[in-house]
């Protein structure tokens, strides 16, 4: 008990810093007329994604992201919404991972992933002037050509992509002191992003890296219900192949998509990782009081 007391007390500066980041986030969105919303943490149907596992409960699952509910609100006419809250991902534990973490997600109707990039830059600059520099931008195609020696956009190989991203590309991005936007992922790695009109080999998805740490994932949101259905089905098959549980399909979300989701951009940002990296720490243990 003595060492827990010391441990928690030593964490105070980091926790104060993290609290300020949260205050800054709320202030930023209030100034821009975004509505803070709270959608269910306990859900019947988590999004079906190949490599994201949900924590099951006796009657459902803990959410891995608030995305599906927030998109239902967008479909109902809400144009600027954000949410701060816990997300849960089974089996993810490490310096940069904790099975329960704080996610910031925001969506803006009438824009795309480039508009969201502007929001992101403005938000981060408002939190700390260290972000007020030119951000580096590199496409997945360029990054893999330079640091991995092949083109996943032309010929996708999931295992090779995941391995090279972690072994070669991410370490290369860590050498830059400024934030880096890794953009235009291969269509097969598009997740819930729409394909680029004019070049359907890529999805309109970018990720923000800073000091080598993955901080955020943004999309021009997929609004095509048929394509979304196909992707969920494919993920279900992949999960079965990998021996992972398959989740029920969120029919309410699919109904909203079929009724019509306006063109919009959205983003998921890891608040704990952002605060950690701003605090110059390299492990979430620096600011999660109970690991």
Question: In the window 103-162, what residues touch another protein (CB under 8 A)?
Answer: 158-159, 161-162
Give the nearer residue to another protein in terms of CB position, either 23 or 237. 237
| Residue 101 binding another protein, by CB under 8 A | no
Sole binder of another protein in the list 91, 149, 197, 198 (CB under 8 A): 91
Is residue 92 within the footprint of another protein (CB under 8 A)?
yes
Closest separation in Å from C-beta 169 to another protein: 9
**Under a CB-based contact definition with an 8 Å cutoff, are residues 123 and 105 in contact?**
no
- Closest contact distance (angstroms) between CB of 125 and another protein is 23
- What distance in Å separates the CA atoms of residue 130 and residue 241, rounded to the nearest whole number? 44
* Span near another protein by CB under 8 A; candidates 23-31, 74-82, 87-95, 132-140: 87-95
Pick the closer one to another protein by CB: 21 or 191. 191
Maximum pairwise Cα distance, the chain: 62
Residue among 191 and 286 whose Cβ is closer to another protein: 191
Residues 259-288 as x/- pattern, contact with another protein by CB under 8 A: ---------x--------------------
Q: Shortest gap between Cβ of 13 and another protein (angstroms)?
A: 26
Nearer to another protein, 29 or 161 (CB): 161
Measured distance CA(246)–CA(287) in Å, rounded: 33
Closer residue to another protein (CB): 70 or 169: 169
- Name the residue nearer to another protein (CB basis): 90 or 137: 90
- Give yes or no for residue 217 binding another protein (CB under 8 A): yes
Distance CA 221, CA 214 (A): 20
Q: What is the nearest approach in angstroms of another protein to the Cβ of residue 55?
A: 15
By CB under 8 A, name the binding residues for another protein: 49-52, 91-97, 158-159, 161-163, 165-167, 170, 189, 191, 207, 214, 217, 242-243, 268
């Amino acid at each position: 008990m003595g060492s827990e007391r010391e441990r928690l007390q030593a964490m105070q500066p980091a926790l104060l810093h993290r609290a300020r980041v949260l205050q800054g986030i709320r202030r930023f969105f209030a100034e821009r007329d975004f509505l803070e919303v709270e959608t269910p943490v306990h859900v019947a149907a988590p999004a079906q994604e190949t490599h994201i596992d949900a924590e099951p409960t006796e009657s459902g699952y803990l959410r891995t992201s608030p995305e599906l509910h927030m998109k239902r609100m967008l479909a109902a006419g809400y144009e600027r919404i954000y949410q701060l809250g816990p997300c849960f991902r089974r089996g993810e534990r490490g310096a940069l991972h904790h099975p329960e973490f704080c996610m910031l997600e925001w969506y803006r109707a009438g824009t795309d992933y480039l508009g969201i990039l502007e929001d992101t830059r403005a938000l981060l600059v408002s939190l700390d002037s260290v972000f007020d520099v030119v951000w580096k931008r590199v496409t997945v195609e360029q990054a893999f050509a330079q640091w991995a020696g092949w083109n996943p956009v032309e010929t996708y190989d999931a295992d090779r992509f995941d391995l090279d991203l972690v072994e070669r590309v991410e370490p290369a991005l860590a050498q830059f002191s400024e934030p880096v936007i890794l953009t235009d992922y291969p269509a097969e790695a598009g997740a819930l992003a729409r394909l680029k009109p004019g070049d359907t080999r890529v999805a309109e998805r970018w990720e923000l890296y800073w000091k080598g740490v993955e901080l955020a994932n943004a999309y021009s949101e997929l609004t095509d219900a048929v394509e979304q259905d196909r992707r969920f089905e494919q993920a279900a098959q992949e999960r079965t192949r990998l021996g992972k549980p398959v989740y029920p399909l969120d029919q309410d979300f699919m109904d909203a998509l079929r009724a019509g989701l306006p063109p919009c951009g959205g983003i998921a940002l890891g608040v704990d990782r952002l605060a950690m990296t701003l605090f110059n720490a390299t492990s979430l243990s620096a600011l999660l009081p109970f690991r």
